[in-house]
Amino acid sequence: MPPEPPRSQGVLWAFTPLITCGFATPFTFTYAAVKRRSAGLAVASAGYLAGWSAMITFMDAGWPLSALASMLLMILWIGGFAHALTVRTRVYPQAAPRDKANEYAIHVAKYRRTLREEARTLAAEDPALAHELGIGRPDVPRAYDDGGLIDVNHAPPFVLATLPGMTSELVERIERIRREQGPFVSVEELAINADLPPDLVTRVGEYAIFLP
């Protein structure tokens, strides 16, 4: 299964002032201001940059300016870290639970589509192996995950009925045609011979596979 979307973001960003002893605090907030296009964060960034510049200037100036430099360093270091922790959720807003669920559902759907594509490729290269793995046959015991493919040529009627938009009439028609005329070779042939409604062709094609 694909990994779940991350539950938290921006932790490293928030800890940057602490890790760098305050020297990266102005740049940390500059990044935040640009990322969020926030005037408030831009003002904070400018303030930290002014404090950083003054600290560098006063550091070797002797007493009492060196003491002021030490105080500025503590503001940049501890104050910047506390400030970053406070605004982290503004800089990296967390998705609502419903949004997270939707994002994860999209991840899963795309992952399942990838599995179907891989199974189709395998079946095209080695149909015998595809049969052995049970590709398109959710009705038989198997270990291979094909992403939900249905083998239109071999799956029983109750499995065909799980294809999108299938009705009992369509299932009976497909079963009769494959029995009388042999296997289908493509979704286009299935659509023509079984007279599928046009709006079903793409939906059925997403899950249908036609093993010989």
Q: Name the amino acid, one letter, at 211.
A: L
pLDDT of residue 47: 96
Q: List the chain domain ranges.
A: 11-91, 101-209
0.75 cut: is pTM over it? no
Q: How far is 203 from 163, CA to CA, in rounded Å?
A: 8
Q: Are 76 and 51 in contact (CB under 8 A)?
A: yes
pLDDT at 5: 45
- Contact between 142 and 134 (Cβ < 8 Å): yes
DSSP the chain: -PPPPPS---HHHHHHHHHTTTTTHHHHHHHHHHHHT-HHHHHHHHHHHHHHHHHHHHTTS-TTHHHHHHHHHHIIIIIHHHHHHHHHHHHSPPPPHHHHHHHHHHHHHHHHHHHHHHHHHHHHH-HHHHHHHTTT-TTS------SS-EETTTS-HHHHTTSTT--HHHHHHHHHHHHHH----SHHHHHHHTT--HHHHHHHHHHEE---
Would you write out the chain's pLDDT as a tens digit for each of its 212 residues? 445 445 567 899 999 999 999 999 999 999 999 999 999 999 999 999 999 999 999 988 888 888 999 999 999 999 999 999 999 989 988 766 677 788 888 999 999 999 999 999 999 999 999 999 999 999 999 999 999 999 999 999 999 999 999 999 999 999 999 999 999 999 999 999 999 999 999 999 999 999 99
Look at the block and give the residue holding tokens 């002014």. Answer: 50
* Alpha carbons 205 and 191: distance in angstroms, whole number: 10
Q: What angle do CA 49, 54, 56 make, to 5 degrees?
A: 95
Please, are residues 184 and 178 in contact by the beta-carbon 8 Å criterion?
yes
The pLDDT, as a whole number, for residue 150 is 96
Q: How many CB atoms lie within 10 A of CB 175?
A: 16
Measured between its terminal Cα atoms, the distance across the chain in Å is 30
Task: Please tell me the predicted confidence (pLDDT) of residue 96.
Answer: 65
Integer-rounded Cα Rg, in Å, for the chain is 31
pLDDT given at position 168: 93
**Rounded to whole angstroms, how far apart are CA atoms 183 and 36?**
58
Distance CA 78, CA 90 (A): 19
